[in-house]
Amino acid sequence: MQTCTNIIRNIAAVVIRVVVGGSINMGIGLLNVQIFPLPEGMSLMTIADDPEALEAWINSLPQTAFILVLVAHLSQAFFGGYVAAFISKRNVMCVAMVIGALSLVGGLMNMAQVPAPLWLWIEMPLYLVVAWYAGKLELTRRKR
């Protein structure tokens, strides 16, 4: 029975992470759109409907705009990994790394769909690094 409880707890940890990490990512993304507004007549709800307009807008952005994108994505992996590790009773590093792997898959899908600068690919391995670090932070907290 204890194993079943741990499995359910770990699944819940991952699901809650999706909400927490996704919210942080979205919040930073919304901040980025406030700093670098969408073109006139476009909204977050409609920009995906016009791939040419999306690409034109992305190409018009300064490189500094993508630093906030990088921060948003890595924050999702870090805070999501930490929350999942915090909730998990056992397998702390495992659930943190599952979050890192899921973030990596999401990042790869995003990079395949959205025209971004080549240097932004640097974030791909960093998803795993920040998730690992989040798990280690939780393990350190538990030792205290």
Which pLDDT belongs to residue 108?
95
What is each CA distance from 104 to 50, 97, 124, 130, in whole angstroms?
Answer: 26, 10, 6, 11
Alpha-carbon span 81 to 103, nearest angstrom: 9
Indicate the domain borders of the chain. Answer: 2-143
pLDDT above 90 (res 141):
yes
Q: Which tokens sit at 7? A: 């499995």
The predicted model gives 116-134 an average pLDDT of 94
Q: How far apart are CA 127 and CA 102, in angstroms?
A: 9
For residue 1, pLDDT beyond 60: no
pTM confidence score: 0.82
Task: Give tens-digit pLDDT for 32-79.
Answer: 888 988 888 787 777 777 888 888 888 889 988 899 989 999 999 999
CB 87 within 8 A of CB 16: yes
Per-residue confidence (pLDDT) for residue 46, from 0 to 100? 76
pLDDT score of 12: 79
pLDDT above 70: residue 2: no
Q: What is the mean pLDDT of residues 110-114?
A: 88
Work out the average pLDDT over 124-128. Answer: 96
